[in-house]
Every structure is written in C-alpha cells, then in structure tokens.
Amino acid sequence: MKSRMAASRELNLKIASLSAGVFSAAAYVTCLVYGLLKANALHHQLFELLPWFKWVSPASFLIGLADMFFIGAFYGALFVLIYNHFARNYGRAKKR
C-alpha cells in the first residue's frame, strides 16, 4: 500500500501526457505559422523531416498535427513513468 506522502510525489500519467501532447501540437502550429509568414529555406527543410509533410496542404497539416500530439504525449508518458519509478524507489527517507 502506498503511503500518502509517496503518492503525493508521483505524477499523473494522463494529465502529464495530455499536457505534453497539447504543448507539442501548439508548438507545431506556431512554427508552421511562422514558416508561412517568414519563408526561409532552413525552416521548410526542418518541417519536411516529418513524414507525409508537404507545405500548404490541409491533409499534411492535420497529419503533422496528430503526429506531433502523439509524439509529445508519448514522451510525456515516458517521462512520468521514469519519474514515478524513481520517486517510488529512491524518493523516500531512509530509516535509521
């Protein structure tokens, strides 16, 4: 059984992964808008690293948005799992 103090140090997997996914999607949209307003070759080349991405295509925009959301959610979930593991195993005070 978890103690109340140990449980309070753990992160919520659902909240953290959704937060990271929304942040990644928002960063994607922000960068895309910037790329459309300030056309520069390097910016376009970086976006073309995303699979199925082509400039100024609605389908490509939606695929990229979903892709970035799921990548962010995945890394958010991975961070929470690693954090909670260390919080459970190494975060408690040692008994003397």
Residue 26 lies in a domain: yes
In a domain, 65, yes or no: yes
**Residue 38 is assigned to a structural domain of this protein:** yes
- Which structural domain range is residue 74 located in? 14-89
Domain-embedded: residue 85: yes
Residue 55 located in a structural domain: yes
Domain membership of residue 4 (yes or no) is no
Residue-wise pLDDT tens digits, 4-28: 555 568 899 999 999 999 999 999 9
- Comparing CA positions, the residue from 71, 64, 61, 60 lying closest to residue 21 is 71
Torsion of CA 31, 51, 49, 75, to 10 degrees: 70
Q: What is the pLDDT of residue 92?
A: 67
Tally of domains within the chain: 1
Name the pLDDT band for 80 (thresholds 50, 70, 90).
very high
Answer yes or no: is 71 within a domain.
yes
Asked if residue 33 is part of any domain, the answer here is yes
For 35, the enclosing helix (H) or strand (E) is helix 13-37
